[in-house]
Amino acid sequence: MIDIFLQTLPFFMLIALGYGAAWTGFFPAEANAYLSKFVFYFALSAMLFRFSANLALDDVLDWPFVLAYFSATMVVYLIATFAALRRGVPMTEAAVEAQCAVVGNVGFLGIPMLVLLLGEAAIGPVMMVLVVDLIVFGSLIVILITGARDGRVSPRVLGAVGLGLLKNPMIVSISLGVLASANHLSVPVPVNDFLTLLGAAATPGALFVIGASLASKSAERLAVAGWLSFCKLILHPLAVAIAAFYIFGIAPYAAGVMIAAASLPVAGNVYILAQHYGVAPARVSATILISTVASVVTVSLVIAWVTSI
């Protein structure tokens, strides 16, 4: 456990560095917004394309794996939705809370950390988790919020969701990489070296961005934020473990990667959506803050467990 904690500690130290730089005012919000754009559109996209272009299609598309992760995640999603509705909150807020309960920071934190700690064989499973989060649950929150407000789900909304997916650089880079791999197109050495160099900026840049963004988060509605953090850090990986091992019989290594990915703290893009639609942004902000701080311990515990299987 101590060894795993020490291995994960540098990642969280980079997050703390970003937090300190933003909290002191040395790194303003505008600078963080531009750094986030660089990581999202360039560095992380280069890393994802290089990873997926060098994988066999079977390593990326594993239907039992996808079904195990999706079904377990949907169970937690429904639990969080039901708990929110029982408190009497509107469906729009319930959708945002459910998103907090299941969507982790796989892109900015999970890919660099899990690949380093669990080996390059983790690339395929982590990317499958990321794709399910982006396509299924990233679309679901938009559909639920707009449907609840308009009273129906219009073709315009579905078209906007589809266009948003097509514009997402993470989905585009993974899709192009898989397409290149499926057609046995090798990446030229200079291009591969360029992608390696650019992708290397993704890890420190993404972690710094996470920390800097946390400096603007407030710890309000602590009871709800604590419950949602529990769902994300404990309930979600537990449900995924049950589905992977006892229902779908996923291979131990792939199951371990899936569980570790499910244990990650709440993703920052949930706050972006909440703020965009004006639905409980303070609640999401507090959940991201609490889950990220708590994950210093919980993620280390989960990774220590899955590596001992």
Whether the predicted pLDDT of 151 surpasses 70: no
pLDDT (tens digit per residue) in 250-306: 999 999 999 999 999 999 888 888 887 888 888 888 899 899 999 999 999 999 999
Q: What is the per-residue pLDDT for 145?
A: 86
Q: So what's the pLDDT on residue 1?
A: 66
Higher-confidence position of 284 and 216: 284
Tokens of 105: 């920071």
At 64, is the pLDDT very low, low, confident or very high (cuts 50, 70, 90)? very high
Q: Which range among 10-14, 142-146, 163-167, 203-207 shows the weakest confidence by mean pLDDT?
A: 163-167
Residue 32 pLDDT more than 70? yes
CATH code for the domain in which residue 106 is found: 1.20.1530.20
- Give how many domains the chain has, as a whole number: 1
Which domain does 202 fall in, by range?
A: 2-306
8 vs 77: which has the higher pLDDT: 77
Report residue 187: phi and psi, to 5°.
-80, 125
Residue 26: phi and psi, rounded to 5, are -65, -35
Residue 155 has pLDDT above 80, yes or no: no
Answer yes or no: is pLDDT of 9 > 70. yes
Mean pLDDT in residue range 96-113? 92
Mean pLDDT across the chain: 88
Residue 93 pLDDT exceeds 90: yes
**DSSP string for residues in the chain:** -HHHHHHHHHHHHHHHHHHHHHHTTSS-HHHHHHHHHHIIIIIHHHHHHHHHHTS-HHHH--HHHHHHHHHHHHHHHHHHHHHHHHTT--HHHHHHHHHHHH-B-IIIIIHHHHHHHH-GGGHHHHHHHHHHIIIIIHHHHHHHHHHHHHSS--HHHHHHHHHHHHH-HHHHHHHHHHHHHHTT-PPPHHHHHHHHHHHTTHHHHHHHHHHHHHTT----SHHHHHHHHHIIIIIHHHHHHHIIIIIS---HHHHHHHHHHHTSPBPHHHHHHHHHHTS-HHHHHHHHHHHHHHHHHHHHHHHHHHTT-
Residue 55 has pLDDT above 80, yes or no: no
For residues 41-51, give the mean pLDDT. Answer: 89
The predicted structure's pLDDT at residue 80: 97
User: pLDDT tier at 150 (50, 70, 90 boundaries)?
Assistant: low
User: Does pLDDT of 73 surpass 70?
Assistant: yes
Q: Which residue has the higher pLDDT, 182 or 243?
A: 243
